[in-house]
Amino acid sequence: MRKKQRSTNINIYSILSVVLVIIIWQSASFFKLVPDFMLPSPLQVVQAFISDFHLLVFHAKVTLVEAVVGLISGVSLGIIAAIFMDHFKSVKDALYPVLVLTQTIPTVAIAPLLTIWFGFGIMPKVVLIVITIFFPVSVAMLNGFSSVDADEIRLLRSMGANQFQIFTHIKLPASLGDFFSALRIAVTYAVIGAVISEWLGGFVGLGVYMTRVRKSYDFDKMFAVIFLISIISLLLVAVVNVIEKYSMPWKRN
Amino acid sequence: MPKLVVEHISKSFEYKKILNDLSFYVDEHEIVSIVGPSGVGKSTLFNIIAGLLDPGQGEVYLDDKSILNHPGNVSYMLQKDLLLPYKTVEQNVALPLLLKGCKKKQALIQADELLKEFGFEMVRKSYPDELSGGMRQRIALLRTYLFSANLILLDEPFSALDTFTKSEIQSWYLKIHKNLGLTTLFITHDIDEAIKLSNRVYVLKGSQVDSFESIEIDSGSKKAKNFLLSKEFLNYKKQIINSLDK
């Protein structure tokens, strides 16, 4: 009861600040402080969103599929790598520097290359997302696995537990907190990664649509796409939060 | 018949001898304490008996079978209760059964029965974080018991508790030790606790070679009212302190 009230309070404040920004923006357009063709008013953006709704949904579906496929592959690969690095120190020594290296690669530079290698379909998008989110996920999981209390492991060993049982009963639940923090980051990276990748090569998707409207100077439509992308990311983060709450019942109180 | 026999155990860490030719035994249904200052290798000894650590020399027999380097034969409990925070009380208690390959449902039923028997059924769905220290320690003991009633190793299990909870939980342990017919080997640096709980007390000093004799605590005198304030109690204490100084 008390908890519910507190979270509503936070929502009220954040809603207030968003409303305030929109009011300032709308009045700036209304009083002609900024010309329409440079910055459309929120009202115009909403109109563009409504009139283009079917087109936006069509492109959003493509982007969403790419993001989800990339997310699932990237997260699974990250977890598998973390398990191996946790289990074999030599794998960690060999893999860790390479992982850091993948983080230094500028995404924008590599995306056109991926298009050349893998074509204009879903593949280069997924690969780009995997490259972006593999590192944060594997490092967070590795961190979670190694933060386990050594005495807990000793206790389970004294009870005759094997490595797999130690993993499922201690390491996995102990690293869930780190996993969900990483997943929240990965979700937003995945959406942005998909959009950037479409931007630099593709036929469909929100990124493609965005380039198209930008080239025709339809900034109201462009803002509509930007908001849609933000909304998609926010919804995905919300989904992660809900899953987190249900898979970590011991953190609920 | 002795339940546990430890023979000529020696263990060194990096040229430093921790345990030197140590031998002792624990009879069935006894509570035997090992008292000694910190750093003399009490916990090392426990890890060896639990099968987690390889001593350089010596043998450990449980019911006449060697359990050296074989974890999973004796129950083991530390000062930290080590209840897993991500499991409910009943899941924690059921854990040893699950590790042995028991079906989840069956393990939970057995854990619930045990919790009910000890009056913890109202907290079985709670998480350890929601419980008091004394309560957690008792539940950890039940988990230890459910793993194996054969021999229970307790490594300073009550030393993190406050005096009142401690004395209460000690009496509780004496009761369940009797009711469940347990055999306990108990490590402590608290001499009072050792006298109060044990049938026999071993005094462990730094790398001893000479005899490792136990001090028998007469169970008759324990029944006396105010045993903790009696002359006998003080005599035992004197005896233990003297052999520590020797």
Residue B217: phi and psi, rounded to 5, are -100, 120
Whether A213 and A134 map to the same domain: the answer is: yes
Residues A3, A194: Cα–Cα separation, whole Å: 36
Amino acid at B149: A
Whether B46 and B137 map to the same domain: the answer is: no
Q: Of B84, B88, B99, which is closest to A165 when you measure between CB atoms?
A: B99
For residue B79, being part of any structural domain is answered with: no
Whether B37 and B156 map to the same domain: the answer is: yes
Residues B131, B100: Cα–Cα separation, whole Å: 27
Whether B17 and B108 map to the same domain: the answer is: no
User: How would you list the strands of the sheet with B16-27, edge to edge?
Assistant: B16-27, B2-13, B57-62, B65-66
**Is the pLDDT at A242 greater than 80, yes or no?**
yes
For residue B193, being part of any structural domain is answered with: yes
- The whole-number pLDDT of residue A2 equals 42
Contacts of A12 (CB under 8 A, 6+ apart): none
Q: Are B89 and B124 in contact (CB under 8 A)?
A: yes
Task: Pick the residue of B45, B49, B53, B99 with the most A CBs within 10 A to test the interface with A by mutation.
Answer: B99
- The whole-number pLDDT of residue B208 equals 57
**Is the pLDDT at A68 greater than 90, yes or no?**
yes
Q: Which residues of A lie closer than 8 Å to B, measured between beta carbons?
A: 149, 151-152, 154-161, 165, 169-170, 173-174, 176, 248-250, 253
- The whole-number pLDDT of residue A38 equals 80
Q: Which residues of B touch A161 (CB under 8 A)?
A: 99
- The whole-number pLDDT of residue A5 equals 45
Whether B140 and B158 map to the same domain: the answer is: no
Q: What is the pLDDT of residues A163-200, one digit of tens each?
A: 899 999 999 999 999 999 999 999 999 999 999 999 88
Task: Print the domain residue range for B98.
Answer: 85-147
Beta pairing class for B2-13 and B57-62 = antiparallel
Whether B116 and B62 map to the same domain: the answer is: no
Whether A176 and A242 map to the same domain: the answer is: yes
CA A161 to chain B, closest CA, distance in angstroms equals 6
For residue B80, being part of any structural domain is answered with: no
**Is the pLDDT at A55 greater than 80, yes or no?**
yes
Amino acid at B103: K
Q: Which residues of A touch B86 (CB under 8 A)?
A: 173-174, 176, 248, 250
Whether A47 and A23 map to the same domain: the answer is: no
Residue with tokens 């913890």: B120
Q: Of B52, B78, B86, which is closest to A174 when you measure between CB atoms?
A: B86
Whether B66 and B171 map to the same domain: the answer is: yes
The SS3 of residue B215 is strand
**Is the pLDDT at A84 greater than 60, yes or no?**
yes
Question: Sorting pLDDT into bands at 50, 70 and 90, what band is A104?
Answer: confident
Q: Are B23 and B212 in contact (CB under 8 A)?
A: yes
Residues B144, B154: Cα–Cα separation, whole Å: 9
Domain harbouring B64, CATH code:
3.40.50.300
Average pLDDT, chain A: 88
The token pair at B183 is: 């055999």
Question: Sorting pLDDT into bands at 50, 70 and 90, what band is A3?
Answer: very low
Whether B50 and B170 map to the same domain: the answer is: yes
Count of domains for chain B: 2
Whether A63 and A46 map to the same domain: the answer is: yes
Task: Pick the residue of A148, A155, A162, A172 with the most B CBs within 10 A to test the interface with B by mutation.
Answer: A155
Contact between chains at B130 and A156 (C-beta distance less than 8 A): no
Residues B89, B140: Cα–Cα separation, whole Å: 9
Amino acid at B161: L
Task: Print the domain residue range for A25.
Answer: 1-34
Whether B16 and B47 map to the same domain: the answer is: yes
- The whole-number pLDDT of residue A184 equals 93
CA A100 to chain B, closest CA, distance in angstroms equals 32
- The whole-number pLDDT of residue B21 equals 82
Task: Pick the residue of B68, B80, B83, B84 with the most A CBs within 10 A to test the interface with A by mutation.
Answer: B84
Contact between chains at B52 and A158 (C-beta distance less than 8 A): yes
For residue B162, being part of any structural domain is answered with: yes
- The whole-number pLDDT of residue A9 equals 56
Whether B138 and B162 map to the same domain: the answer is: no
Q: Of B72, B86, B98, which is closest to A250 when you measure between CB atoms?
A: B86
pLDDT tens-digit profile, chain B (246 residues): 788 888 888 888 877 777 888 888 899 888 999 888 777 788 888 888 888 888 888 888 888 888 888 888 888 887 788 899 989 999 999 998 988 888 989 999 989 988 888 888 888 889 998 888 888 888 998 898 888 778 888 888 888 788 888 888 888 888 888 888 889 998 888 888 888 888 888 888 765 555 577 777 777 677 666 777 788 888 888 888 887 776
Q: Which of the listed residues B95, B124, B147 is the one where a domain comes to its end?
A: B147
Contact between chains at B76 and A152 (C-beta distance less than 8 A): no
Whether B107 and B137 map to the same domain: the answer is: yes
- The whole-number pLDDT of residue A229 equals 93
Residue with tokens 């005896």: B239
The token pair at A132 is: 């972006």
For residue B19, being part of any structural domain is answered with: yes
Whether B112 and B218 map to the same domain: the answer is: no
Whether B52 and B30 map to the same domain: the answer is: yes
Task: Pick the residue of A157, A159, A250, A252 with the most B CBs within 10 A to test the interface with B by mutation.
Answer: A159
Q: Which of the listed residues B112, B132, B147 is the one where a domain comes to its end?
A: B147
Domain harbouring A146, CATH code:
1.10.3720.10
- The whole-number pLDDT of residue A4 equals 44
**Is the pLDDT at A48 greater than 70, yes or no?**
yes
Count of domains for chain A: 2
Contact between chains at B95 and A159 (C-beta distance less than 8 A): yes
Which ipTM was obtained for this model?
0.78
Whether A53 and A148 map to the same domain: the answer is: yes
A6 vs A179, higher pLDDT: A179
The SS3 of residue B54 is coil
Inter-chain CB pairs, A–B, below 8 Å: 60
CA A77 to chain B, closest CA, distance in angstroms equals 25
Q: What is the pLDDT of residues A112-158, one digit of tens each?
A: 888 889 988 899 999 999 999 998 999 999 999 988 888 888 888 88
Alpha-carbon distances of B126 from A173, A248, A253, B5, B138, rounded to whole Å: 17, 13, 11, 39, 14
The SS3 of residue B31 is strand
CA A239 to chain B, closest CA, distance in angstroms equals 22
